[in-house]
A and B are shown apart, each in its own frame.
Chain A
Amino acid sequence: MKLSTIREILDATVLSGEEHLDREVLAACGSDFMSDVLAYVKDQALLLTGLVNPQVVRTAEMLDMKCIVFVRGKTPDESILKLAQARDIVVMRSPRRMYDACGLLYLNGLRGD
């Protein structure tokens, strides 16, 4: 699924990496526990999370993820966005809650693995 489609489905605002919305992700993962993300992720290139801090970007970086969606309208600060930009990771913000955001993507065919 293209990042531009994900933006539409989640009614999301792109906070950084607007130029990369044609990128494809094949699977996604949603969690507020970074160690869980690190434990179970294989090739999920999209991370949905309600946690807002630099370690979210670090975790995505270690796993070669392409995009982070902050759910529940949470807004990362400038330092977090800079970190993501430097690593070429797209950042979006969605007003949807975690359960709904994951459900909507799943419904539209984006699976967990």
Chain B
Amino acid sequence: MEPIKLTYHVEGGDLIGAGEASSKMKMALKKLDLPQETIRRAAICMYEGEINMVIHADGGRAEVEIAMDHITIRMIDSGPGIPDVDQAMEEGFSTAGEIARDLGFGAGMGLPNMKRYSDEMKIDTTLGVGTTVTMRFNL
């Protein structure tokens, strides 16, 4: 089977609509009859990534690939980049402001959650250029 490729746009600064892309992705995965647990993990990871794009990077896009033995989710933005990735990965570390906290986010759990729920995660980031977070889920 040819891998299925899906792309979702994430609007920057849209705190109300944030999650729309992850919601659509989750519905698409459900139609493919994949294991529910994997769908849930992928949805959680993409959702945290989407929230990060909205609150830290003025939006971006998600590229999802579904192949025979894995799902890959790539969250790509042209935001400010992450100065210290190790620090960003620490539970509780956050530069998020009041607005993100009002939404129930900004507790510094997003990236650790994405790491915990994915089978592999990689962060490519360049200051002033952007960040790409790639997550893999084995099927």
Contacts and interface: CB of A to CB of B under 8 A. Distances in A.
Contact of B48 (A38, A53, A64): A38
B113 interface: yes
| Chain B CB within 10 A, most for which of A37, A59, A62, A64 | A62
A6 interface: no
A55 B18 contact: yes
A9 to B, nearest CB: 25
Contacts of A56: 104
B109 A39 contact: yes
B22 A62 contact: yes
Given A58-B18, A58-B47, A61-B26, A39 B103 contact: no
B105 A55 contact: yes
Contact of A34 (B15, B16, B103, B112): B103
B116 interface: yes
B23 interface: yes
B110 interface: yes
Given A53-B103, A62-B44, A35 B109 contact: yes
Please classify the interface of chain B as helix (H, G, I), strand (E, B), loop, or mixed, using the class held by over half of its residues. helix
Contacts of B107: 33, 35-36
A58 B16 CA distance: 10
A32 B106 CA distance: 12
A54 interface: yes
A55 B103 contact: yes
A55 B104 contact: yes
A71 to B, nearest CB: 14
A28 to B, nearest CB: 17
Given A32-B104, A34-B103, 7 more contacts: A37-B104, A39-B116, A53-B104, A55-B19, A59-B47, A62-B22, A62-B43
5 contacts: A36-B109, A39-B109, A54-B17, A61-B43, A64-B36
Interface of A: 32-39, 49, 51, 53-56, 58-59, 61-64, 79, 87
